[in-house]
Amino acid sequence: MRLHPVAAALASAVLLASPVQAAPSTPSTAEPSPAAADPAGYVNPFVGTAPGGTDFGHGGGAGNTFPGASAALGGIQWSPDTVTHQHGGYAYEDNRIQGFSLTHISGAGCDDYGNVPFMPLTGRPDPEPALRHATFSHANEEASPGSYGVKFDNGIRTQISVTRRSGVAHFTYPSNDAKPAALTVDAGRAFNKATGNITIGSRTLSGYTDSGGFCRSTNRYRLYFHAVFDHPFAHTEPLDGKTSGAYVSFAPGTRTVTARVGVSFVDVDAARRNADVEQGGRSYDLLQRAARNRWNEWLGRIAVRGGTEAQRRVFYTALYHSLLHPSAFSDADGRYRGMDGLVHRTRPGHVQYANYSGWDVYRSQVQLLALVAPREASDVAQSILDQGRQAGYFDRWTLANGGTRVMVGDPLPAMAAAIHAFGGTDFDAEALLSTAVAGREDERQRPGHKQYDTLGYIPAGAKGVWGSAATTLEYAVADAALAHLAGRLGDTDAQAALTRASGNWRNLFNPASGYLQPRAADGTWPAFTPTQRTDYVEGNAAQYTWMVPHDMPALFTAMGGDAAVTSRLDTFFTQLNAGAEQPYAYLGNEPSFNTPWTYDYAGRPDRTQDTVRRALTTLFADRPDGLVGNDDLGAMSSWAVWAFLGMYPQVPGSPQLALASPLFPSATVHRGNGVDLTVLAPDASATNPRVQSMQLDGHPVRTPFLPDTFLTRGGTLRYRLTSP
| pLDDT above 80: residue 654 | yes
Strand pairing report for 220-229 and 256-264:
antiparallel
Give pTM, 2 decimals. 0.95
What's residue 9's pLDDT?
Answer: 37
**Distance, CA of 110 to CA of 88 (rounded, Å):** 9
Span 582-592, average pLDDT? 97
**Distance, CA of 703 to CA of 691 (rounded, Å):** 11
- CA contacts within 13 A on the Cβ side of 103: 35
What's residue 141's pLDDT?
Answer: 98
**Distance, CA of 28 to CA of 316 (rounded, Å):** 25
The secondary structure of 394-419 as a DSSP string is --SEEETTEE---SSS-HHHHHHHHH
pLDDT digits (tens, 9 = 90+) for 242-283: 999 999 999 999 999 999 999 999 999 999 999 999 999 999
Kindly compute the dihedral angle of the four CA atoms of residues 489, 494, 497, 503, in this order, to the nearest 10 degrees: -30
| pLDDT above 70: residue 516 | yes
What's residue 406's pLDDT?
Answer: 97
pLDDT digits (tens, 9 = 90+) for 612-640: 999 999 999 999 999 999 999 999 999 99
The secondary structure of 21-32 as a DSSP string is PPPP-PPP-SPP
Q: What is the average pLDDT score of the chain?
A: 94
Share of the chain above pLDDT 70, in %: 94
What's residue 120's pLDDT?
Answer: 98
Band (33; pLDDT cuts 50, 70, 90): low
The secondary structure of 481-514 as a DSSP string is HHHHHHHHHT-HHHHHHHHHHHGGGGGGEETTTT
| pLDDT above 80: residue 53 | no
Band (32; pLDDT cuts 50, 70, 90): low
What's residue 8's pLDDT?
Answer: 38
pLDDT digits (tens, 9 = 90+) for 533-553: 999 999 999 999 999 999 999
How far is Cα of residue 128 from the mean position of the Cα atoms in its chain? 37
| pLDDT above 60: residue 343 | yes
pLDDT digits (tens, 9 = 90+) for 84-110: 999 999 999 999 999 999 999 999 999
Band (421; pLDDT cuts 50, 70, 90): very high
Span 577-604, average pLDDT? 97
| pLDDT above 90: residue 3 | no
Span 313-318, average pLDDT? 98
Band (61; pLDDT cuts 50, 70, 90): low
